[in-house]
Chain A
């Protein structure tokens, strides 16, 4: 079974619609992230959360909101979708181990979102 799952895997929607992308993890990690990936631009951080009560904006948070419902769940919402939000969205988790400084990201399989 996958450690990080995302639903839906693909979604086509229309401009103005509200969309929620969900992420669940069984790794027991405290930290969760949402990224979008666009050709030529790489992965860009939208929001991140270091624990259930912690929400932080990333590089490109405008037009998005998030909810950390539990340690294992982190959802991303597009309140009113627009075409330039068409992208591949990845959820990721990480765990800053004791004594380590390296923060390795474990990614979900991605959600391909198309906004018409």
Chain B
């Protein structure tokens, strides 16, 4: 079993839709959690950190469920520009990335 797993997608959604991705992790001692965004052929960039209490940044909401060992990313009112691959990352003893979930927003 991979230490960090994501549904590869693609998630194909229309503009304005709400979409959510989950990312599961296997190490219960994991301490820090992140969502990165990666555009095609570009470098990953930090989208947001995930705090225990959950956090929101505009249309994006990240949540942590320690009991079930997953983090989630919710995107409301999807825009065409949200089309990208979303990578989760988890720190236990080291930083481990998931393989990413691809989102395609269409008109």
Chain A residues in contact with chain B, CB under 8 A?
Answer: 35, 40-45, 58, 90, 101-110
20 A-B pairs (CB sep. < 8 Å): A41-B99, A42-B4, A42-B98, A42-B99, A42-B100, A44-B97, A45-B95, A90-B43, A90-B44, A101-B32, A102-B34, A103-B32, A104-B34, A104-B46, A105-B44, A105-B46, A105-B95, A107-B44, A110-B42, A110-B43
Cα A107 to Cα B45 with chains together (Å): 7
Can you name the residue of chain B whose Cβ is closest to the Cβ of A91?
B43
**Whole-angstrom distance between the Cβ of B17 and the nearest chain A Cβ:** 25
A90-B43, A105-B95 known; 9 other A-B pairs, CB under 8 Å?
A41-B99, A42-B87, A43-B87, A102-B34, A103-B32, A104-B49, A105-B46, A109-B42, A109-B43
> What is the predominant secondary structure among interface residues of chain B facing chain A?
strand
**Whole-angstrom distance between the Cβ of B53 and the nearest chain A Cβ:** 14
Count of inter-chain pairs, beta carbons less than 8 A: 45
In the bound complex, residues from chain B placing their C-beta under 8 Å from that of A40 are 8, 99
Q: Do residues B44 and A102 form an inter-chain contact, with CB atoms below 8 A?
A: no
